[in-house]
Amino acid sequence: ESGYDCWLEYRHIENASLRENYLKRCASLAIIGGSPLLRTAGRELAHAISSMLGENPKDEAVTLIDAGAKGTIIVGTYGSSRLLEPLADVYRFDELGEEGYIIHASEDDCIYLSAASDKGVLYAVFHFIRLLQTGQSIESLRICEVPRNGLRMINHWDNMDGSIERGYAGKSIFFKDGRFIPDMSRIRDYARLLASVAINAVTINNVNVHRQESRLITDEFLPDVAKAAAIFRDYGIRLYLSVNFASTIEIGGLNTADPLDPDVTAWWKEAAANIYRYIPDFGGFLVKADSEFRPGPFTYGRNHADGANMLADAVAPFGGAVIWRCFVYNCLQDWRDRKTDRARAAYDHFMPLDGLFRDNVMLQIKNGPMDFQVREPVSPLFGGLTQTNQLLELQITQEYTGQQRHLCYLVPQWKEVFDFDTYARGERSTIAEVASGRLFGRESGGIAAVSNIGDDRNWTGHVLAQANWHGYARLAWDPGLSAEQLASEWIRMTFGLAAEPERVVKDMLLSSYDIYEAYTAPLGVGWMVNPNHHYGPNVDGYEYSKWGTYHYADCHGMGVDRTVRSGTGYAGQYHGPVVERYESLADCPDELLLFFHHVPYAHVLKSGKTVIQHIYDAHFGGADRAAELVAKWDSLASRIDADRFGQVRERLVHQAEHACEWRDMINTYFYRKSGIADEQGRVIY
Ligand code: BDP
């Protein structure tokens, strides 16, 4: 058990009475219709049932059921058979949309998996399988699900040489040596995992598009892109590509990429038409422009609406979209100038453009204003923009959260983002409501996240990091699910139904974010990491660089004053109640204190501790708790297969050691800066 199957291992159900009970209702299958998606669904269901229940379900002809067969699972799109008609008495199929579905158990022990579309049926099948995997009763099922987010996307930062930017689980599963990997079977296995958690969109190449990747949209590579797209299509997933804004120069033979230049416009129109000849359901373009040395419209004195709209017009005739990233800031800042503030940048750039983007443009906004730090406030663009489609961007790959060598279950962090109240339309204007498009009545919206997978046998390097991948996708479907629910679900699907592993692993997952935060950069200040690769502590690594990422620690205190009153004014980018909370030293939550305020080390937090004592306590405590993770995992030695047990253990041991390095470096630094001793007299060098 290498972990290759992730949460779709379909292990045999040991509990005999549970198995019998399931078998009564899963003895035969009737798949109505033969579209590719329904074939995928039928195959998956038959495979799941035979692995988990030990018997191959009979392939039931629809006519037989008509004659009154019992214990059959009936799978099909509403309208495709008389058999499904009675369901309309209970459910409104016209409200299910393209992706919703129902699961219904009838009195004669038949189970109906149905939807208004084939894709909905596929999702119903995976949901039903999940019920079996997690040991739920299937007796009186009345389930009706509709996704809360239209677009549920994964972004790969894969380069065609096979490397992955910020990848911590091996090489690309798509590319090697400048080309596609000819054997695409791993892509198929990947698509299956994605479909099981209802991901419906992927970009397969890095947002930093270099020379080779620029050519993905040319005849040289489109046949291969089309093959990959066809695999994803069988699982209800649309493929998108990251494109180089300067493609016209890079590969088009023009000397400009000015979005208002007619030659540029014509070039993109033809490029788009050509892509759609190969891939009729191509999703569209993802663009990182004018950011971290990538080309963009600024070069030509144009703004980002000009750039995005030009590309949007090229794909619009074919139903495509442009996803335009808001990660735009000056990465050549002067660290001595305390008035400039990287945190302000996205809002300052994009707010003036609100309402100017085409309907098929979505702005992709990172959860926070900086860059996926352990702790940041949410981006004020959420709730700021009201007339523009938006996508929330999260990072599953653990760039700043332990790089899949440390355990850091990110679902609790993401939940805080989704639940954050922007007050844009009064109370309960949460980010979840903004991103989905509901709050401002937008047609499209959703969630994208940077992938954490690679070609490691277990996909994510750290086996327990699979939980982040699973949790992200499930939250994208329904941000209302709780971290506890998702952790339990993932553990049962991954390690089986035994109570003890579930209790222990759940405790480990749910405490891990807190633990990681405790021994890394304190109180929301962020960035105390090694430059470039971002792994491990480095107290001043970014302090005097140009990237706009400072903690301003000196002998008196630390933190960034981002108040309107005396600082950079960033706090003023939110709505009233949020501005007040962050602006006030008394009301600002402890965990973000140093993000918004510069304070003396003796400043007393709401917790009652001084800042300096908090730093010491958090770091000693965090490192101790990291060590306890090893002990907790060890208690499962006899209950988890040796392969996965060993893989995880090795990483936890490393984490415990590395947490000590973090602890010592951060504590020592602040002890020397402040000259204030630890109240508890612990050793700090
Ligand atoms: C940062 C990464 C960098 C990415 C950039 C981005 O360090 O590798 O290219 O974000 O999102 O987190 O574009």
Measured in whole angstroms, how far is the alpha carbon of residue 357 from the centre of its chain? 25
- Give the residue among 433, 371, 358 at the shortest CA–CA distance from 397: 371
What's the pLDDT tens digit per position in 452-492? 999 999 999 999 999 999 999 999 999 999 999 999 999 99
The residues, ordered by sequence, that sit 6+ positions from 460 with a Cβ below 8 Å of its Cβ are: 169, 404, 452, 453, 454, 466, 468, 469
Q: Which among 85, 220, 292, 634 is annotated as catalytic? A: 292
Q: Does residue 339 have a pLDDT over 90?
A: no
Cβ–Cβ under 8 Å, residues 662 and 408: no
Instruction: Specify the ligand 1 atom closest to the Cα of 291.
Output: 13
Confidence band for 334, pLDDT divided at 50, 70 and 90: confident
Which amino acid, one-letter code, is at 610? T
Question: Residue 179 in 3-state DSSP?
Answer: strand
Q: Which of 158, 159, 292, 527 to mutate to test the pocket of ligand 1 (most atoms within 8 A of CB)?
A: 292
Rounded Cα gap, residues 497 and 470, in angstroms = 18
Cβ–Cβ under 8 Å, residues 676 and 602: yes
Rounded Cα gap, residues 353 and 132, in angstroms = 49
pLDDT at 319: 98
Instruction: Specify the ligand 1 atom closest to the Cα of 371.
Output: 12
Confidence band for 1, pLDDT divided at 50, 70 and 90: confident
Shortest-distance Cα residue to atom 12 of ligand 1? 371
Largest CA distance in the chain: 85
Lowest mean pLDDT: which of 23-32, 401-410, 654-663? Answer: 23-32
What's the pLDDT tens digit per position in 136-165? 999 999 999 999 999 999 999 999 999 999
What's the pLDDT tens digit per position in 12-69? 999 999 999 999 999 999 999 999 999 999 999 999 999 999 988 888 765 556 556 6
pLDDT at 68: 61
Q: What average pLDDT does the structure give for the chain?
A: 96
pLDDT at 2: 86
Residue 167 burial (10 A CB sphere; 0-12, 13-18, 19+): buried
Q: How far is the CA of 200 from the centre of ligand 1 (A)?
A: 23
**Percent residues over pLDDT 90 in the chain:** 94
Q: How far is the CA of 209 from the centre of ligand 1 (A)?
A: 12
Instruction: Specify the ligand 1 atom closest to the Cα of 395.
Output: 12
What's the pLDDT tens digit per position in 374-389? 999 999 999 999 999 9
pLDDT at 437: 97
pLDDT at 65: 60
Q: Which of 164, 205, 207, 363 to mutate to test the pocket of ligand 1 (most atoms within 8 A of CB)?
A: 207
pLDDT at 345: 95
Q: How far is the CA of 627 from the centre of ligand 1 (A)?
A: 31
**Percent residues over pLDDT 70 in the chain:** 99
Write the CA distances from 228 to 198, 203, 221, 315, 577, integer angstroms.
Answer: 18, 11, 11, 20, 47
Instruction: Specify the ligand 1 atom closest to the Cα of 208.
Output: 9
Q: Does residue 685 have a pLDDT over 90?
A: no
Q: Which of 158, 163, 205, 208 to mutate to test the pocket of ligand 1 (most atoms within 8 A of CB)?
A: 208
Ligand 1, pocket residues at CB < 6 Å: 165-166, 207-208, 288, 327, 371-372, 399
* 399 annotated active-site: yes
DSSP letters for 140-161: S-EEEE--S-SEEEEE--B-TT
The 3-class secondary structure across 498-545, one letter per residue, is: CHHHHHHHHHHHHHHHHHHHHHCCCCCCCCCECCCCCCCECCCCCCCC
* 183 annotated active-site: no
φ/ψ region of 645 (left if φ > 0, alpha if ψ in -120 to 50, else beta) reads: alpha
pLDDT at 63: 56
Confidence band for 214, pLDDT divided at 50, 70 and 90: very high
Strands (E), 237-352: 238-242, 284-287, 321-325
- Give the residue among 550, 505, 546 at the shortest CA–CA distance from 527: 550
What's the pLDDT tens digit per position in 70-108? 789 999 999 999 999 999 999 999 999 999 999 999 988
Shortest-distance Cα residue to atom 1 of ligand 1? 371
Q: Which among 5, 60, 399, 517 is annotated as catalytic? A: 399
- Give the residue among 267, 356, 360, 254 at the shortest CA–CA distance from 313: 360
Q: How far is the CA of 153 from the centre of ligand 1 (A)?
A: 17
What mean pLDDT do residues 236-258 have? 98
Q: Which of 166, 210, 365, 370 to mutate to test the pocket of ligand 1 (most atoms within 8 A of CB)?
A: 166
Shortest-distance Cα residue to atom 9 of ligand 1? 208
Q: How far is the CA of 668 from the centre of ligand 1 (A)?
A: 30
* 213 annotated active-site: no
Confidence band for 369, pLDDT divided at 50, 70 and 90: very high
Q: Which of 155, 157, 291 to mutate to test the pocket of ligand 1 (most atoms within 8 A of CB)?
A: 157
Cβ–Cβ under 8 Å, residues 525 and 562: no
What's the pLDDT tens digit per position in 595-608? 999 999 999 999 99
pLDDT at 66: 58
pLDDT at 64: 56
End-to-end Cα, the chain, rounded Å:
44
Instruction: Specify the ligand 1 atom closest to the Cα of 288.
Output: 13
Residue identified by tokens 């930062």 is 157
Q: How far is the CA of 198 from the centre of ligand 1 (A)?
A: 26
pLDDT at 337: 85
Instruction: Specify the ligand 1 atom closest to the Cα of 157.
Output: 9
Question: Residue 361 in 3-state DSSP?
Answer: strand
Q: How far is the CA of 291 from the centre of ligand 1 (A)?
A: 9
| Confidence check on the interface: ipTM exceeds 0.95, yes or no | yes
Residue 225 CB: number of other CB atoms within 10 A? 22
pLDDT at 71: 85
pLDDT at 472: 98
Instruction: Specify the ligand 1 atom closest to the Cα of 207.
Output: 13
Q: How far is the CA of 95 from the centre of ligand 1 (A)?
A: 39
Alpha helices (H) in 520-555, listed in sequence order: none
Cβ–Cβ under 8 Å, residues 421 and 393: no
What's the pLDDT tens digit per position in 482-527? 999 999 999 999 999 999 999 999 999 999 999 999 999 999 999 9
Q: Which among 145, 371, 376, 617 is annotated as catalytic? A: 371
Confidence band for 672, pLDDT divided at 50, 70 and 90: very high
Cβ–Cβ under 8 Å, residues 31 and 114: no
Structure letter (DSSP) for residue 170: S
Question: Residue 481 in 3-state DSSP?
Answer: coil
Confidence band for 336, pLDDT divided at 50, 70 and 90: confident
Shortest-distance Cα residue to atom 10 of ligand 1? 371
What mean pLDDT do residues 287-291 have? 96
What mean pLDDT do residues 288-299 have? 95
Q: How far is the CA of 157 from the centre of ligand 1 (A)?
A: 9
pLDDT at 55: 84
Q: How far is the CA of 245 from the centre of ligand 1 (A)?
A: 17
Residue identified by tokens 């020592």 is 668
Cβ–Cβ under 8 Å, residues 435 and 447: yes
